[in-house]
Structure 1
Amino acid sequence: MTLLSSDTVPAKEPARFLVFWRRFKRSRTALLGLILFILVVLMALTAGLVEPDDPLRRAGDPLTPPFQNWLTPLGTDQLGRDILAGIFHGARISLMIGVVATLLSIGIGVVIGALSGYFGGWIDDVLMRITEAFQTVPNFVLLLTLVAILGSSIEYIILAIGIVSWTAPARMVRAEFMSLRGREFVDAARNLGVSNSAIIFKEILPNALPPIIVYASVIMALSILLESALAFLGLGDPNYASWGNMIGQGRSVLRTAAYCAVIPGLAIVFTVLSFSLLGEGLNDALNPRQKKQ
């Protein structure tokens, strides 16, 4: 039997969404972040229309400047590949990395943080010592180590990013569980004989989700930046058109054809900015009292 607090009644879900949307749209920066995010999603969805075959194929003469040829409006790189096609297909890669790595890191963080915060005692001590051990090594250094061990395929890069990003969500979930485990609805569930797993995932976790949802936008932005940094160092997957790969390959012609690196760099900037603005808007909408303080 699942207990529902007074503010989580299913009949009130549409009204709660409307209240959330009213709070969210009050922030112009949040709406700007939403617009930028929608543009990135549209780029990813329409990438096949821009280049249906292979974005890595030669599309014209090497180093054609932007706006010189309508077939390649953003120009070509030193190998003659269409930069516009790379930008659109790179949106797919960036969103895939951001979403999958975020789900992986949030999943690990929720499990470890929930167990640690709910049970406490020696379980909390062991799990927090493991968390601290991961935090002693800088994220990017650990990421480089994992990629060097596992390989630089896109699957292993996503796995490695998820592994290095779970510690902050784990601590956040632990703090939420420690503050909620003594609440009346949790005591009522225990008295009714509800199992610990049901209490953790059906009673406490839904009430601890708002800060986790907000922080997910941070992890998505960080995941895109980490993949771009790896690709810039030549450790990305060369079989995919990613913004990081485009910047890394554009270094060799930075003085003569800066657009090869600047255009994908701007794509990364605006995408990360969209997640940052969305995160602020979600925080204001989900935690209105915190904004007032």
Structure 2
Amino acid sequence: MKALKHFLMSPAAMLGLLLLVGIVGLAVFADLLYPRDPLGLAGRPLQWPNPAGRFLLGTDASGRDIAAQIAHGARTTLLMGVVSTLIAIAIGIVVGAVAGFYGGLTDDVLMRLTEAFQTLPNFILLLVLVVVVGSNITAVTIAIGVVSWPAVARLTRAEFLTLRNREFVQACRTLGLTNRWIIFREVLPNALAPIIVYGSVVMATAILLESALAFLDLSDPNIASWGNLIGQGRKVLRSEWYVSAIPGVAILLTILSVSLVGQGLNDALNPRLRNR
């Protein structure tokens, strides 16, 4: 309750939460707001935003409604960000937990594997995976999750190294509980708080990675995506800059909201910060 109260009393966290709720609401009600296909022809190409007209945010170079693409693209962006984050956290937890709990040779092998993944920048490795497995949204989401797990693994390992010799772990061993039970039922729940907080960083990075792929025409072109819209707008950036600027602002607000909520969770779940 103290953590929840501290979170609710944080102006930055509440601002982030309100922004995030608004973006989630836009994604949930996209079909009601814009029931037609967001990638279908809606009017003349490159009409400027007009709040009093038919197209609130204008049209792109193909004559598609930008507002419809923003609404439906919110669903794509959030779903991709959440799923890729869950994939990264799942892989990172398993690798980091096993490495931190067992130590020794197991720790050395898994950490060398983690360092091998971190040798190349995430985006370069992501480009390689997308070229190999394809650029549909499912493949892109899985690829982003696969390249994002090393930092989660190192954080999990650090938490397990501090917890594996605690009294409650020794008591579990005395009772004859299996290592798998101790890892996932006893130690992991005590290590989850910083991992959950770091999930906001992973999600923000995942959104940026997908947008960068779409900007390079390497993401799925058959779905409404903020990154795809930015990529289409680069061809008319000098004259109709709003085509790229509007989805850019949407991405900025989404990442800002996720970051503020993550920071609020960090302050609320960290006793040292909560008691300042």
When normalised by structure 2's length, the TM-score is: 0.98
Query: In 1, distance between residues paired with 2:63 and 2:119?
Result: 44
Pick one of 86, 104, 111 that aligns with 1:128. 111
Partner of 1:149: 132
- The Cα of 1:118 is off from its aligned counterpart by 0.3
Tell me the CA shift for residue 20 of structure 1. 1.9
Please name the residue that 2:91 is paired with. Answer: 108
Q: What letter matches 1:206 in structure 2? A: P
Of residues 210, 228, 244, the one that matches 2:227 is: 244
Q: Distance in 2 between matches of 1:42 and 1:68?
A: 21
Match of 1:276 in 2: 259
Within the candidate set 35, 41, 49, 2:32 is matched to 49
Structure 2: gaps (5+ residues): none
Alignment correspondent of 1:255: 238
Partner of 1:7: none
State the Cα distance separating 1:68 from its structure 2 match. 6.1
Q: Which residue of 2 aligns with 1:163?
A: 146
Sequence identity (%): 59
Q: For each residue in 1:170-206, what CA deviation from the matched residue of structure 2 results, as whole angstroms up to 9, or x when unmatched?
A: 0000000010001111111110111110000000000
Q: Which residue is equivalent to 2:44?
A: 61
Conservation of the 8 A alpha-carbon contact between 2:268 and 2:274 = no
Alignment size in residue pairs? 276
Whether 2:169 is the aligned partner of 1:180: answer: no
Cα deviations by residue, 1:142-161 (Å, 9 ceiling, x for unpaired): 00111111111101101110
Aligned partners of 1:163, 1:74: CA distance in 2, in Å? 35
Cα displacement (A) at 1:72 = 1.5
In the aligned structure 1, how far is the partner of 2:238 from the partner of 2:158?
50
Whole-Å separation in 2 of the counterparts to 1:257 and 1:179: 55
1:139 is the counterpart of 2:122:
yes
- Deviation per CA, 1:266-293: give whole Å up to 9, x if none: 0000000001101110000000314657
3-state secondary structure, aligned to 1:131: helix
State how far apart, in whole Å, the 1-side matches of 2:16 and 2:52 are.
Answer: 32
The one-character-per-residue Cα deviations of 1:111-169 (angstroms, maximum 9, x if unpaired) are 00000000011100110010010011111100011111111110110111011100000
Q: CA deviation at 1:50?
A: 2.1
Deviating more after overlay: 211-220 vs 64-73: 64-73
Moved runs in structure 1, 4+ residues, more than 2 A?
Answer: 68-71, 290-293
Unpaired runs of at least 5, structure 1: 1-17
Please give the per-residue CA displacement for 1:46-95, whole angstroms capped at 9, x wherever unaligned: 11012223110011111111116633111111111000000000100100
> Residue 93 of structure 1 corresponds to which residue in structure 2?
76
Whole-Å separation in 2 of the counterparts to 1:165 and 1:51: 33
1:289 aligns with 2:258: no
1:256, distance to aligned residue in structure 2 (A): 1.3
If the length of structure 1 is used for normalisation, what is the TM-score? 0.92
**Greater alpha carbon shift after TM alignment, 18-27 vs 182-191:** 18-27
Q: 1:81 aligns with which of 36, 56, 64?
A: 64
Answer yes or no: is the 8 Å Cα contact 1:69–1:75 preserved in 2.
no
Contact 2:84 2:206 (8 Å CA) reproduced: yes
Aligned to 2:5: 22
Superposition CA RMSD, Å? 1.1
